[in-house]
Amino acid sequence: MKPLSPLLIVEDDGVFAKVLAKSLAARGLKTVHAVNSADALKAAREQPFAAAVLDLKLENETSLALIPALKALYPDMRILMLTGYASIQTAVEAIKLGATHYLPKPASVDEILAALSNEAANPDMAITPQPLSVERLEWEHIQRVLAEHDGNISATARALNMHRRTLQRKLSKKPVKQ
């Protein structure tokens, strides 16, 4: 297993980042916190990082574009996409862009470390026998159509034949669990 320290945390929620950094420090890991992509790239240019934990949805941006930029600086960097807005589409995109792993929030520090430490895929992973709920399928579909329209809510609402405010209400809620 490759060392994970120092570790870059890119998270716009200061409280969550502080708790995560404190928990990782208790396990002997040094961390640096950035609140957006620009700060993260600046920190990455100033010092090398072994790993990064990226929040998908930052204040005014997504951290998906940060993945290839970090990988260009450090090709062996382990990158975990951690998000409260998990969807199949964003998981696939994050992995295609070079993320090592993808976890939905809430995730424990042990789960985060396990995801960053796991070097190989697990072909024996257990498959849940329960299909996605209708609410979760709706969330996944909305996320896919939103991505197809480059995050444009009005265009997405038209494509879904839905009122824009209804779509905004649905997007402002946390995604439903599986």
Query: Containing domain of residue 28, as a range?
Result: 7-117
Written as six digits, the tokens of 89 are 């589409």
Whether omega for the bond prior to residue 48 falls within 30 degrees of 0, making it cis, is: no
Q: With respect to residue 177, please indicate whether it lies within any of the assigned structural domains.
A: no
Q: With respect to residue 128, please indicate whether it lies within any of the assigned structural domains.
A: no
121 vs 101: CA distance, rounded Å: 10
* 104 and 151 housed in the same domain: no
Residues 6+ apart with CB under 8 A from 21: 9, 31, 33
Nearest CA to 39 out of 15, 58, 20 is that of 58
* 13 and 57 housed in the same domain: yes
* 106 and 25 housed in the same domain: yes
- Quick: pLDDT tens for 86-136: 777 888 888 899 999 988 877 888 888 888 887 655 556 565 566 667 777
Written as six digits, the tokens of 173 are 């809620």
Residues 6+ apart with CB under 8 A from 132: 140, 178
* 12 and 66 housed in the same domain: yes
131 vs 128: CA distance, rounded Å: 8
Please count the other Cβ atoms lying within 10 Å of the Cβ belonging to residue 71: 17
Q: With respect to residue 102, please indicate whether it lies within any of the assigned structural domains.
A: yes
109 vs 112: CA distance, rounded Å: 5
pLDDT per residue, tens digit, the chain (178 aa), is 456 778 999 998 888 889 889 999 998 889 999 999 999 999 999 999 999 999 988 888 889 999 999 999 999 999 999 887 777 788 888 889 999 998 887 788 888 888 888 765 555 656 556 666 777 778 777 877 887 787 888 998 999 999 999 988 888 776 665 5
